[in-house]
Amino acid sequence: MTAELESQNSWLSNSDMEQVRNRLPIVYVNVIPVRTDATGEVTEIGLLLSPDDDGNFRHALISGRVLYNERVRDALVRHIEKDLGPVSFPRIPLSINPFGVFEYFPTPDVSGLFDTRQHAIALAFVVSVSGDCRPSQQALSLNWIRREELSSGFLEREMSNGQHQVVISGLASVGLVL
């Protein structure tokens, strides 16, 4: 099925995708990977360290599109595997109801979240992973940050495009108020 989806995706050529991006909101999933203790309490969160468009290293969420005919569940599995490798053993949520819906507009003035390429509507999830996380080449590393070390100021400085809002909100949804 993945092959089929990819072929459908490549069928949407880059120039076509550019055109579509200026006309319709694009559905995304956003994932905050976490580690927990035995009672389900979050102990660490994982942030990808990647170069942004200007070549600076920034922390980022796992993020990616939902493809045509792809279930949200399968998009979650696919993007987590893409960024954390094949043995991260994510516990995909029982419900595809996100902790929050986040709107990325082409300009920062609407919601504070923005994405210059497009209008994206992201379903955001906190996902517990229990295995070994090995980020792919594109994301240079994955930083695990202990809950004691997190602060809203840190996230705001380290993340781009207003994405710290997604992390702060996701942590609040699991009882961790920064």
Site residues (vs a copy of itself, CB under 8 A): 8, 11-12, 16, 20, 22-27, 34, 36, 38-42, 66-74, 76-77, 91-101, 103, 105-106, 110-112, 119, 121, 123, 126, 128, 152, 164-165, 168-169, 172-175, 177-178
- The DSSP H or E segment spanning 33 is strand 26-36
Closer Cβ to a copy of itself, 8 or 136, answer by number: 8
Closer Cβ to a copy of itself, 48 or 123, answer by number: 123
- Asked if 151 contacts 159 with a C-beta cutoff of 8 angstroms, the reply is no
- Asked if 115 contacts 161 with a C-beta cutoff of 8 angstroms, the reply is yes
Q: How far is the CB of 83 from a copy of itself (least distance, A)?
A: 17
Query: How many angstroms separate the Cα of 57 from the Cα of each of 49, 73, 138?
Result: 6, 29, 12
Closer Cβ to a copy of itself, 139 or 156, answer by number: 156
Instruction: Identify the residue whose tokens are 């209008």.
Output: 119
